[in-house]
């Protein structure tokens, strides 16, 4: 357990979600005994939280910038509103129990639901929030998240919260700019966030022009797995995906090699499946939840590689639509009737999985003849003809295009 808590505390730093200048994250894990990655007075309160919940691990950390400024801006905005509105229902039949931030990206819809706010770093209020949700925000201090099985779960939730608040804030700012009501402080935070994010992905061009990515087409499974591992790691390094979301696959003959569900793209060794396209193996049971969409893309195109990430501005721009009178507002992720594009890239609705509104129905036909497709509120799928060189390049270039489109729109506002 001591190794695990240190590993995921360090990973928060390397992923740019925390920084040492503002205090290392505090992560505790329960095995035979409770182990912390470092000593901190806050551990006393967190030990009370663990005692009040059936959990294995707990994380408390202050996000690095720009996440911290974004978090506090959204908290103050919500608390101002909540003073008048009070608690209620979040629209999905779940009582929100008080103040909460409610992003609209797919990660939040399926994983977080909303992010409650605890006014104080107090064991009782934190326990109350974590009985209902996977995380809680403490104003001006940070985020508390937990895991029931492993410290990895706390890391994943924390990472997802940072992603969700970034996307929500920048999406809200884009709407405010479009109608001319964006405030100066909001704009200052937004411009800093964009500048920091652009810096974080600047090294992607060097990676793609170097020999880091293996060249295809590949001839055996070992080559495929090595190429997937490298491409997955670079996707994470260049901030094209957060926590354990995203997936990657390669078609070799009639077998699809694909990342397992719940796997992290920067830790793919031993976390992939080889799935015969004729369904003759049960390997697909542990494959990514988007395996069906990958398979259908391979069946109707001659691409060999597929890469799916959650680049932030692809998600933000997909959430922005000026058709304010559309009768499908609130159902955009499943029933958007518009043919929407960012440049040459279509935006399609679709939920994770194979249900009636699954992206497996909308994504494959949209990607034919294209370098990528954005799924509303969810992320970007790109393809490569022989290997992951084009797939990763397309991922980064489309994200840069979305950043440029965003900057154009807020300047108009």
CATH architecture label of 212-412:
3-Layer(aba) Sandwich (3.40)
Can you give the pLDDT at residue 187? 95
Q: Which residues of the chain have pLDDT under 70?
A: 81-97, 203-211, 243-244, 282-284, 412-413
CATH architecture label of 2-199:
3-Layer(aba) Sandwich (3.40)
Cα-based angle 159, 163, 169 (whole degrees, multiple of 5): 145
Backbone phi, psi, residue 361, to 5°? -90, -30
> How many CA atoms, within 13 angstroms, populate the side-chain half-sphere of residue 399?
30
What is the C-alpha separation between 326 and 301, in angstroms, rounded?
33
Tens-place pLDDT, residues 93-123: 343 458 999 999 888 888 889 999 999 999 9
The residues of the chain that CATH labels 3.40.225.10 are: 2-199, 212-412
β strands within 75-218, DSSP E: 100-101, 115-116, 135-138, 142-147
**Cis amide prior to 66 (ω within 30 degrees):** yes
Give pTM, 2 decimals: 0.92
What is the C-alpha separation between 132 and 199, in angstroms, rounded?
36
Q: How many residues does the chain have?
A: 413
119-125's contacts with Cβ under 8 Å and 24+ in sequence apart are 121/42, 121/45, 122/45, 123/45, 123/46, 123/48, 123/49, 123/52, 124/52
Scan for tokens 């495929």, then name that residue.
224
Can you give the pLDDT at residue 378? 93
């Amino acid at each position: 357990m001591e190794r695990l808590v240190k590993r995921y505390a360090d990973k928060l730093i390397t992923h740019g979600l925390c920084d040492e200048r503002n205090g290392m994250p505090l992560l505790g894990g329960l095995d035979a005994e409770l182990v912390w990655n470092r000593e901190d007075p806050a551990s006393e309160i967190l030990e009370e939280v663990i005692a009040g919940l059936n959990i294995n691990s707990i994380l408390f950390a202050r996000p690095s910038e720009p996440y911290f400024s974004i978090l506090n801006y959204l908290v103050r905005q919500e608390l101002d509103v909540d003073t008048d509105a009070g608690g209620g229902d979040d629209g999905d039949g779940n009582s929100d129990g008080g103040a909460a931030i409610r992003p609209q990206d797919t990660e939040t819809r399926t994983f977080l639901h909303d992010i409650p706010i605890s006014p104080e770093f107090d064991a009782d209020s934190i326990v109350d929030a974590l009985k209902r949700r996977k995380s809680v925000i403490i104003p001006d201090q940070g985020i508390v998240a937990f895991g029931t099985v492993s410290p990895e779960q706390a890391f994943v939730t924390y990472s997802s919260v940072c992603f969700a608040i970034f996307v929500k804030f920048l999406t809200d700012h884009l709407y405010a700019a479009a109608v001319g009501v964006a405030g100066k402080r909001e704009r200052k935070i937004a411009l800093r966030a964009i500048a920091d994010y652009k810096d974080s992905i600047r090294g992607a061009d060097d990676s793609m022009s170097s020999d880091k990515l293996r060249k295809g087409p590949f001839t055996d499974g070992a080559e495929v797995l090595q190429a997937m591992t490298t491409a997955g790691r670079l996707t994470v390094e260049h901030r094209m995906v957060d926590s354990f979301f995203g997936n990657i696959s390669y078609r070799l003959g009639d077998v699809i090699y694909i990342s397992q569900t719940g796997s992290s793209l920067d830790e793919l060794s031993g976390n992939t499946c080889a799935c015969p396209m004729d369904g003759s193996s049960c390997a697909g049971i542990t494959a990514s939840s988007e395996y069906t969409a990958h398979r259908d893309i391979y069946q109707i195109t001659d691409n060999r590689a597929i890469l799916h990430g959650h680049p932030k501005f692809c998600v933000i721009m997909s959430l922005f639509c000026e058709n304010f009178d559309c009768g499908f507002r609130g159902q955009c992720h499943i029933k958007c009737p518009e043919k929407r594009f960012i440049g040459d890239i279509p935006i399609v609705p679709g939920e994770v999985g194979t249900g009636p509104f699954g992206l497996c129905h909308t994504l494959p036909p949209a990607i034919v003849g294209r370098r990528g497709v954005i799924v509303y509120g969810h992320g970007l799928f790109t393809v490569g003809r022989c290997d992951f060189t084009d797939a990763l390049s397309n991922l980064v270039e489309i994200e840069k295009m979305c950043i440029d489109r965003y900057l154009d729109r807020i300047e108009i506002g």
